[in-house]
A = this chain, B = another copy of it.
Amino acid sequence: MAPQKLKIAAAGLGRMGKRHALNFLNRTPRAELVAAFSPDPNELQWAKQHLEPYGVTLYSDYEQMLQHQDLQAVVIGTATSVHAEEAIKAMEKNLHVLCEKPLSTKLEVCKQVVAEAKKRPHLKVMCGFSRRFDASYRDARDKIDRGLIGRPAVVRSQTCDKHDPSGFFVEYAAWSGGVFVDMTIHDIDLTLWFFGDDVTLKSVSAYGVRAVQPDLAKHNDFDNAVGIVEFYNGKIAYYFCSRMMAHGQEDATEIIGTEGKLSVNANPQLNLVNHYHSGGITREVPPDYYGRFEMAFVQESNEFVASCLDNTPLPMKLTNAVKAVEIGSYLQEALVQGKQIRFDEAGRRIEAANL
């Protein structure tokens, strides 16, 4: 008898939603993409051509899709604002959930999802942070575990996008949660991975500039920002995020330990080609995060499916995703207000009056 495949549905067929759908259709051998949903007629049109012929039933209604026969799981790649609601609805239908990050830009909503998931321990509910599935980051983590750098004490991490001169990200800032929630959340998640998710916040500081998009002011956001997160017990992380890179996507991380250091992507590159010309030697850089992390998303799909089918632990905890949003929100608050935020050793925020 053929081994069981996980019957999964894809919610949302926008840029990232399409990629998830195709990854589950074509590059996740133990999964079977049986359904897909989008509220957007254009996206459904695309699906008619690229999904339907391969046996995928299309829905313009999310809840209808959840009732697709024998459905076991949902991958949610819709707009962030509905992630949480859709995740909870799926759980209520007894479905496993892989949700694009973040669960929500609002901490309270994130926590709600976690609470719902806790009620159903037999369900696998994961919020995907793609870098945890990237071969280079995993190698770094493995080298840390093997003690190659001693005790990690400082993390430097950056998420830097190629500048989009269309200014799309100005409007996007209205609902993205701000640069630290939208971009740096990945760096925060990596920090929790490398430092351990039991670290306790001590202080948060952040500053930013609007160098190429002054209009971001209307959404209280910035196109370049720097932040420092201090943890109790001698650990510091510092972050840079930017939407202004001329050369492409540059997501880089350093983990600095008492006996050595690891860097990931200190030399960004699209591939293994160098072009030697009269101006020097040039290498290209991936134009966007998918160019850098495509295979990490494929890996994520496969590991999520394995965990569902084999009932093994998920590769990352849902609570981490919440903690990353929490720290990102503090950074964004510090950024907007230009003020340091501090915490006591129990992790309680210390109000300014008590500083």
Q: Could you tell me which A residues sit within 8 Å of B by CB distance?
A: 1-3, 25-27, 29, 53-55, 135-136, 139-140, 143, 148-149, 151, 153-154, 156, 203, 205, 207-212, 224, 226-228, 230, 234-236, 238, 240, 242, 244-248, 250, 256, 258-285, 338-340, 342, 355
- CB of B261 within 8 A of CB of A235, answer no
- CB of B261 within 8 A of CB of A2, answer no
Chain B residue with Cβ nearest A158: B156
- Give the chain B neighbours of A246 by CB distance below 8 A: 149, 259-261, 276-278
- CB of A244 within 8 A of CB of B258, answer yes
* A108 shortest CB reach to chain B, Å: 28
Q: Which 3 A-B pairs have the closest CB atoms?
A: A261-B276, A153-B211, A26-B29
- CB of A280 within 8 A of CB of B276, answer no
Given contacts A2-B53, A154-B224, A340-B205, contact A260 B276 (CB under 8 A): yes
Q: A224 CA to B338 CA in the complex, in Å?
A: 24
Q: A209 CA to B256 CA in the complex, in Å?
A: 12
- Give the chain B neighbours of A240 by CB distance below 8 A: 154, 156, 238
Q: A253 CA to B52 CA in the complex, in Å?
A: 43
- CB of B244 within 8 A of CB of A256, answer yes
- Give the chain B neighbours of A205 by CB distance below 8 A: 205, 207, 228, 340
- Give the chain B neighbours of A282 by CB distance below 8 A: 279-282
- Give the chain B neighbours of A212 by CB distance below 8 A: 258
- CB of B53 within 8 A of CB of A275, answer no
A143 touches which of B153, B273, B285, B342 (Cβ 8 Å): B273
- Give the chain B neighbours of A248 by CB distance below 8 A: 280
Q: A341 CA to B275 CA in the complex, in Å?
A: 34
Q: A81 CA to B259 CA in the complex, in Å?
A: 33
Given contacts A153-B211, A211-B258, A339-B340, contact A135 B271 (CB under 8 A): yes
- Give the chain B neighbours of A267 by CB distance below 8 A: 266-267, 272
- CB of B279 within 8 A of CB of A281, answer no
| A151, A270, A276: residue with the most chain B Cβ atoms closer than 10 Å | A276
* A248 shortest CB reach to chain B, Å: 8
- CB of A139 within 8 A of CB of B236, answer no
Given contacts A224-B154, A282-B281, A339-B340, contact A275 B209 (CB under 8 A): no
* A73 shortest CB reach to chain B, Å: 19
Chain B residue with Cβ nearest A295: B295
With A203-B207, A262-B274, A262-B275 already in contact, 18 other A-B pairs whose C-beta atoms are closer than 8 Å: A136-B272, A139-B270, A149-B246, A149-B275, A154-B211, A211-B234, A212-B258, A242-B256, A246-B260, A260-B278, A261-B275, A266-B274, A269-B281, A275-B280, A276-B285, A280-B282, A280-B285, A340-B340
Q: A201 CA to B1 CA in the complex, in Å?
A: 56
- Give the chain B neighbours of A274 by CB distance below 8 A: 262-263, 266
* A242 shortest CB reach to chain B, Å: 7
| A209, A230, A235, A280: residue with the most chain B Cβ atoms closer than 10 Å | A280
- Give the chain B neighbours of A203 by CB distance below 8 A: 207, 338
Q: A279 CA to B283 CA in the complex, in Å?
A: 8
- Give the chain B neighbours of A244 by CB distance below 8 A: 153, 256, 258
- CB of A275 within 8 A of CB of B256, answer no
Q: A143 CA to B136 CA in the complex, in Å?
A: 28
* A229 shortest CB reach to chain B, Å: 9
- CB of B245 within 8 A of CB of A226, answer no
